[in-house]
Amino acid sequence: MTERTLVLVKPDGVSRGLVGEVISRIERKGLKLVALELRAVDRGLAEQHYAEHDGKPFFESLLEFITSGPVVAAVVEGPRAIAAFRQLAGGTDPVEKATPGTIRGDFALETQFNLVHGSDSADSAAREIKLWFPDL
């Protein structure tokens, strides 16, 4: 089933020059880019994007981090795109969960600085795509 998912290359990925690497992996997997934008993230957008984490101990530092520099936001489409991108990304903890060969497994060390975000369900994807790309 063709799906869409929201992908972010977070500020660490942009500042480390890994945007091309991430996009290349998405394309080589066979997924299609249907929207792509480099943009600043204000606090309001960050709070809405991460609303489900409000109240968690890392919430404030997560907001600080995601607003600390530009991100690349993309809408990615393809068969089972949500799971497919999460497979490319690897687990949230880049050392304990992400395996070598995944984006996080290959390039990240810390859970907060885990380079990319991908929607975790169809409901999240719909919500996040509307939030980041309301005109799509």
Annotated binding site for ATP: 10, 58, 86, 92, 104, 114
Of 4 and 117, which has the nearer Cβ to ligand CMP?
Answer: 117
Whose Cβ is closer to ligand CMP: residue 78's or residue 118's? 118
User: What residues contact residue 134 under an 8 Å CB cut-off, 6+ apart?
Assistant: none
CA–CA distance from 58 to each of 61, 64, 80, 120, 133 (Å)? 6, 10, 30, 19, 26
Active site residue 117: yes
Quick one: 31 or 62, whose CB is closer to ligand CMP?
A: 62
For ligand CMP, what does the binding mask look like between residues 90 and 109, x meaning CB under 6 A? --x-----------------
Q: Does the footprint of ligand CMP cover residue 67 (CB under 6 A)?
A: no
CA distance 114 to 47: 18
- Radius of gyration from C-alpha coordinates of the chain: 14
Binding-site size for ligand CMP (CB under 6 A) equals 8
